[in-house]
Amino acid sequence: MTSGPDDRWDDRVRDAYRRPLAGEAEARQRVLARLRHEPGAPTRGRGWWLDPDALRAPPLLAAAAVIVALAIGAWSGARWAGARHDRGAAIVAAARPFRATPASTAVAGPTTVTFAFRAPGASRVFLVGDFNGWDPDATPLRRAATGEVWTVDLPLPRGLHAYAFIVDGADWSVDPSAPLAPEATFGRRNALLVVGEGGAL
Amino acid sequence: MTDAELVARVIAGQRQAFAELVARHHAACLRYAAHALGDSMEAEDVVQETLLRAYRSLGRYEERQQFRSWLFRILVNRCRTAAARNGARRRRDDNAYAGDGRAAGDTADRIDLRSRLARALAGLDAPHREAFLLKLGEGLEYDEIARMTGASVPALKMRVKRARDHVRARWEDTGDERTR
């Protein structure tokens, strides 16, 4: 098979495209470091909502699904807001350095949990857990008036939850007073919390 | 060991096997994202997010698929999202990733070729750029690209042809005497 000018040009472009980028190794290490934050190994049948195959649908079907989801979301939100108002505000015990406190377990359904974290010198604190997909940007804590304790209220379904705090985007901190999940292969541990059936562990 | 075997190990609880998959595919993902987005910092973020999503949804991976194709499908979607998010505030014809390489101690030749390609890609819209990079850069088959992008094979062939004409004209405008 002969190689014409077009093929030679394609080869040069491919060569330019495939030149390694500076900092690839460091970027790969940062990916592995981020993976260490992931809880547990994936299992068959999990994660379908992230599967690109599952997200591909005809436009009309997708639009209908979005409308239905919004309607369900609005109805659920209204119900949750009403229930939360009935239960009252969560109470934070700031004396403990780290804490996840269910505000109420008396009502079936989601339970509002107050997560509190004492970090006097921090500028940003985020909560990560199985309930927010371990997204480090999804759930910020707010600094309390004392300036030392950071809190956030979160409605959680009944069951076992793993969680941790990320301070200033880097420090992965767990609640020392809570039971810890088994150590993950990627090297991180997380605190465990049971919602419902008697409250936190 | 094949990618599918590594995936099976991860599913079986050997999480460290995913590190090997990262080692095998991270560079290719970063390369594609850098050329697709024209920004190495953003490319790193997108690739990191892609690999995290792949890890979390690994349970849905089927062995009959090539892992690389499956991963690239996620990557292409993430790049589309990032490009749409930033399209209003970023001009595509910067050569940020060539500049990044310079700052990080890249070689002059590497910078030269990459920046030339960046300039040649400038002005291509996302669908044409995507098709061009997957076909000429990654060397994928049209059927494979069609499954990744959702576009038909004839449409992809047309996009690649137009993109190729565009890139070649601009490439030669940059003064690469070896292509003349």
Mapped onto helix, strand or coil, the DSSP state of residue B107 is coil
Which residue has better confidence, B67 or A116? B67
Structural domain includes residue B174: no
pLDDT at A89: 30
Dihedral over Cα of B135, B138, B139, B145: its sign: negative
d(CA A104, CA A107): 7
Q: In whole numbers, what is the pLDDT of chain B averaged over residues?
A: 82
- pLDDT of B125 over the 80 cut: yes
Structural domain includes residue B53: yes
- Give the closest-approach CA distance of A77 to chain B in angstroms: 27
Low-confidence ranges of chain A (pLDDT < 70): 1-3, 5, 43-108, 170-171, 175-189, 196-201
**Inter-chain touch B48–A17, beta carbons under 8 Å:** no
Nearest residue on chain A to B99, alpha-carbon basis: A22
Structural domain includes residue B108: no
- Give the closest-approach CA distance of A149 to chain B in angstroms: 30
Instruction: Enter the tokens of residue A158.
Output: 């009944």
Q: Provide the residue range defining the domain that includes B84.
A: 1-90
Structural domain includes residue B169: no
Structural domain includes residue B3: yes
Structural domain includes residue B1: yes
**Inter-chain touch B48–A34, beta carbons under 8 Å:** yes
Which residue has better confidence, A199 or B60? B60
pLDDT at A49: 41
DSSP state of A46: -
**Inter-chain touch B31–A18, beta carbons under 8 Å:** yes
Q: Which residues contact A69 (CB under 8 A, 6 or more apart)?
A: none
Q: pTM for this one?
A: 0.56
pLDDT at A45: 55
Nearest residue on chain B to A11, alpha-carbon basis: B136
- Give the closest-approach CA distance of A175 to chain B in angstroms: 24
Query: Distance of CA A189 to CAs A172, A185, A192, B77, B85, Å?
Result: 9, 10, 10, 31, 34
Highest mean pLDDT of the ranges B97-106, B114-123, B130-139: B130-139
Q: Which amino acid is at A165?
A: F
Structural domain includes residue B37: yes
Q: Which residues of B10-141 form beta strands (DSSP E)?
A: none
pLDDT at B46: 93
pLDDT at B180: 43
**Inter-chain touch A27–B14, beta carbons under 8 Å:** no
Q: Say how many domains are in chain B.
A: 1
pLDDT at A79: 54
Which residue has better confidence, A91 or B157? B157
**Inter-chain touch B136–A14, beta carbons under 8 Å:** yes
CATH (domain of B56): 1.10.1740.10
**Phi, psi dihedrals of residue A165, rounded to the nearest 5°:** -115, 145
